[in-house]
Each structure stands twice: as structure tokens, then as C-alpha cells.
Amino acid sequence: MRLKLVPSETSWDFFRHARLTFGASVAAVILSVVLFFVVGLNFGIDFRGGTTIRTESSTAVDVGTYRQALSGLGLGDVSITEVFDPTFGADRHVTQIRIQAQDEQEAVTPEIIRQIEAALTAIDPAITFPSVESVGPKISGELIQTAVLSVLLAIGAVLVYIWLRFEWQFAVGAVAALLHDVALTVGIFSLLQIKFDLAIIAALLTIVGYSLNDTVVIFDRLRENLRKYKKMDLREVMNLSVNETLSRTVMTSGTTLIALIALLVLGGDVIRGFVFAMTWGVIVGTYSSVFVAKNIVLFLGVKRDWSKTSDGGGTQFANIDA
């Protein structure tokens, strides 16, 4: 007996409310762009500049105690993470404390650093401070440029890959879906003012890959069915393709979300922003694969006189259930 999240054979009309779903996507993208320019992002230390203090101690690290000791200093955005390394001895406990630059200064002042060291020494006399490093505005600006460039290059590589593997209409649909996912993720971070740092850029790149995977599976089945049903209306072939891959889509997204929600609840503050971005990205990525990419392809149209038979590449696992 197998668990089935969706029936073996479905015939849902995913174009029934195409104007509503596609219009909602366009409106959401526009709203996200407006939020980005009007509200802005809550940039973390990586993009705003600040100071990183490395600590070492022979006693076990309690991040909560460290955070409480620094809470009364009015430091603003403070990130405390414990560093793990196989080379560390049992009596070597290392943390990284990242503090946002204050009052548009390039780094935390020496006076504030001394206050931090005094506060931590009070709760752990064995603590030492082997290094203090600052990230200035120039480096932060370069990080922003590099982050934006990395996302654009990833999307550009997707455009070329889909164009070579399928047709240019498919490439435009896939890239539109990826831009939709990235824009909505940036928009939700702007709306909720969740800290935006380099970890979120990593999440965006992961979302691009995840969403592309879903889209390619549907496109593979669509290409196969276009060769199989040459006289069937394009809209009907698309609906058939999405229905045939629906079980795989639901199982993949569902199991991924289970793991992400567990991390979101139990993972702690250090990875919460990254996990939230991934959770949101899986949801909008699955939505865009079904309701955005295929609508673009339907609007552009594809040629129907392919004579080459399909080998079913990339779709042999489309109907797998748990």
C-alpha cells in the first residue's frame, strides 16, 4: 500500500483561472519592486559594514548568555555564532560576534569594543579575543555588486541552458518564472524587514536551481507530449503534462517543505533567515513552474511539427509516489 498525495490520474484544468493566477503573479512582482525601492531591505552586517570579533574560551559557549550580556550595550544588529572545526581540541570553544556599524561609522569604535570585551569577560573570565576585523562601506558595496551579479549570471546561464535544450519560448518561460521567484523573495524580505545578508543570496541561488528543476521536469513532459499528441490543442497538451507530473511535483515540494519547516522551528536564529527564504522559495518556485512558466510558453506558442521521437529523458520518475 502506497501513500498518494494526489490521485494517480488527474485532469485538473490549470488554465481555468489563468488570467487570475498570472495577473496575481504580475501584481505581486510589481508590488515587490515597489517595496524594494520604497521600503528597502534590512541589510545585515555583510552589506552595511561592521565589526567581527572572534572569541576563544576553554569553557563551553552559551550563545544565549553571550547575547544577554551584550543586550544592554545598544549595539543594534548583533550576530553570534559558534564556530565548529574538527581540528579544535575539546577545551577550545570559538565564536564569531558580528556587530553592525553604528551611526554610519565604518566600524565599531575602540571604546565599544572594550565594553564588549568587558561584558563577556564578566560572564566568562577564561575568554580571549584573538582577532577583531572590520568590514567598511567600500567592501560592503563590492559585496552587494557581487551578490547581484551572481544572481543575474545564474539566471543568464539558465536562459542559455533552456534555450539549447528546448526552444527559445521555453527559455523565456523558465527565466520569467525564475525572475518571479527572486522578485517575490526579495519583496517578502522587504515587507517583513527580515535581515538580508550573504546567506540570503545563497538561498536565492538555491531557489533558482530548485525552481528550474521543477520547470524542466514539466517542460520535458510537455516536449514529449507535443511529439506524441501532434494534433491536440497546445493548452490541452500543457494541462496533460502538468497533470502527469503533478504527483512528482507535490511529493518533491512536500518533503522539502517538511525538512525546511522543521529547521525553521528548531534551527535557531543563526539559520532562520536562510531557511525562511528557502521555505518561501520552494512555495513560490512550485507555483511559478505551474502557473507562470507554462502561461508564458502558451502565450508565445511553440512549433508542433517535431518529427523526432521523445525518449522520455528527465521524466522517468515523474509519477513516483511514496
Q: Do the Cβ atoms of 169 and 302 come closer than 8 Å?
A: yes
- The SS3 assignment for 265 reads helix
According to the 3-state scheme, what is the secondary structure of 89-131? CCCCEEEEEEEECCCCCCCCCHHHHHHHHHHHHHHCCCCEEEE
Find residue 238's DSSP bridge partners: none
DSSP3 helix / strand / coil % (the chain, rounded to 5):
60, 10, 30
Pick the closest to residue 162 from 280, 254, 296 (CA basis).
296
How much is the pLDDT for 29?
94
| Single-letter code of the amino acid located at 252 | T
Per-residue cell: 6 = 494526489
DSSP letter at 309 equals P
How much is the pLDDT for 315?
43
248 exposure class (CB count in 10 Å sphere: 0-12, 13-18, 19+):
buried
How much is the pLDDT for 238?
87
Only one residue has cell 576553554, namely 58
Q: Do the Cβ atoms of 280 and 206 come closer than 8 Å?
A: no
Integer CA distances (angstroms), 146 to 42, 47, 139, 313, in order:
18, 11, 10, 35
Per-residue pLDDT tens, the chain, 322 aa: give them: 456 666 667 778 888 888 898 899 999 999 999 999 999 888 877 777 778 888 888 888 888 888 888 887 877 777 788 877 666 777 788 888 888 766 555 566 788 888 888 988 888 888 888 888 776 655 556 777 887 888 888 888 878 887 887 788 888 888 888 889 999 999 999 999 888 888 888 888 888 888 888 888 888 888 888 888 878 888 888 888 888 888 888 888 888 999 999 988 887 666 888 899 999 999 999 999 888 888 888 888 876 655 555 454 444 444 444 3
Parse the chain into domains and list their residue ranges.
Answer: 18-42+139-300, 50-135
For residues 187 and 37, what is the distance between their CA atoms, to the nearest angstrom? 10
Find residue 184's DSSP bridge partners: none
| Single-letter code of the amino acid located at 49 | G
How much is the pLDDT for 318?
43
For residues 301 and 164, what is the distance between their CA atoms, to the nearest angstrom? 17
Name every residue whose Cβ is closer than 8 Å to that of residue 197 and which is 6 or more positions away in sequence.
43, 44, 45, 46, 47, 273
For residues 317 and 220, what is the distance between their CA atoms, to the nearest angstrom? 12
Backbone angles phi, psi at 107, to 5 degrees: -155, 170
Only one residue has cell 536562459, namely 159
Integer CA distances (angstroms), 140 to 46, 48, 91, in order:
6, 6, 35
How much is the pLDDT for 5?
63
218 exposure class (CB count in 10 Å sphere: 0-12, 13-18, 19+):
buried
CATH 3.90.480.20 fits 50-135, yes or no: no
DSSP letter at 147 equals H
CATH number (3.50.50.60, 1.20.1640.10, 3.40.50.1000, 3.10.20.30) of 18-42+139-300 reads 1.20.1640.10
- The SS3 assignment for 10 reads coil
Q: Do the Cβ atoms of 86 and 43 come closer than 8 Å?
A: no
DSSP letter at 282 equals H
